[in-house]
Amino acid sequence: MTLLLALVIGCLYAAGIFLILRRNMVKVIFGLILLAHAANLLIFTVGRLTKGIPAFVPEGSGMLTGRFADPLPQALILTAIVIGFGVQAFTIVLFKRTWLTLGTEDLDMMKTTDEPPKE
């Protein structure tokens, strides 16, 4: 299972990096989202996979006993997903506004802030 997830993470990173190198804004967004997913999955995998033993305290007992899945990576991922959701929603709106204002989706066209102002 770990090997499979490792392969999936690798593919996600490869796809994400490929996409953020494209000139089209929409593809860059997809790339950023894929990279965020890859990072979340990476946390999940390196935090050790434990199948089918959620970290619930059994009824009547005061503490966890025996083997259980580490809840912390899950909490980290949940937080990261929520933050990512907000940031990505903002980015999509920003890119849409940029496209409406500048009339282009080609990132190579957006270089006025890198050049000295024209006379």
Partner 1 sequence: MKQILIIPILFPLLSAITMLFFRRSVATQRIISILSSFLLLAVAGGLLAAVISEGMLTLQVGGWRAPFGITLAADLLSAVMVAASALIGLTTVLYSLATIDRERERFFYYPLLQLLMMGINGAFLTGDVFNLYVWFEVMLISSFVLLVLGGTPVQLEGAIKYVTINLLSSSVFLAAAGILYGMAGTLNMADLARITPYLPQQNLLAVVSVLFMITFGVKAAVFPLFFWLPASYHTPPVAVSAIFAGLLTKVGVYALIRFFTTIFSHEAVFINEVLLAASALTMLSGVLGAAAQYDFRRLLSFHIISQIGYMIFGLALHSPLAIAGALFYIVHNIIAKTNLFYVSGIVERITGTYDLKKAGGVYAAHPVIGMLFLIPALALAGIPPLSGFWAKFVIIKAGFQAGEYAVTGIALLVGLLTLFSMMKIWNEAFWKDLPQPQVEGNRYETMGFGRRLLLFSPVVVLGLVTVLLGVFFEPVFRLAETAAAQLLDTQAYITPVLGRME
Partner 2 sequence: MYSIILATASRYLLLLLQMFSLFLLFRGHNEPGGGFVGGLVAAAAYALYFIANGIAEAEKLLKVDPFYLIAAGLLLAVSSTMPSLAAGMNVMTGIWFDTGTALFGKVGTPLVFDTGVYFLVLGVTLKIIFSLAEGDLQ
Residues within the interface to partner 2 (CB under 8 A): 82, 86, 89, 93, 96
CB nearer partner 2, residue 2 or residue 50: 50
| Contacting range for partner 1; rule: CB under 8 A; set: 50-58, 60-68, 110-118 | 110-118
Q: Which two tokens stand for residue 115?
A: 């050049």
| Residue 95's binding partner out of partner 2, partner 1, none, with CB under 5 to 8 Å set by partner kind | partner 1
Residue 46, strand partner residues: none
Annotate 25-67 with DSSP letters as a single string.
HHHHHHHHHHHHHHHHHHHHHHT----S---PPPTT-SS--S-
Angle at 37 (CA atoms; ends 86, 18), nearest 5 degrees: 110
Q: List contacts with partner 1 (CB under 8 A).
A: 20, 25, 28, 32, 35-36, 38-40, 42-43, 46-48, 72-73, 76, 79-80, 83, 86-87, 90-91, 94-95, 97-98, 101-102, 107, 110, 112-114, 116-117
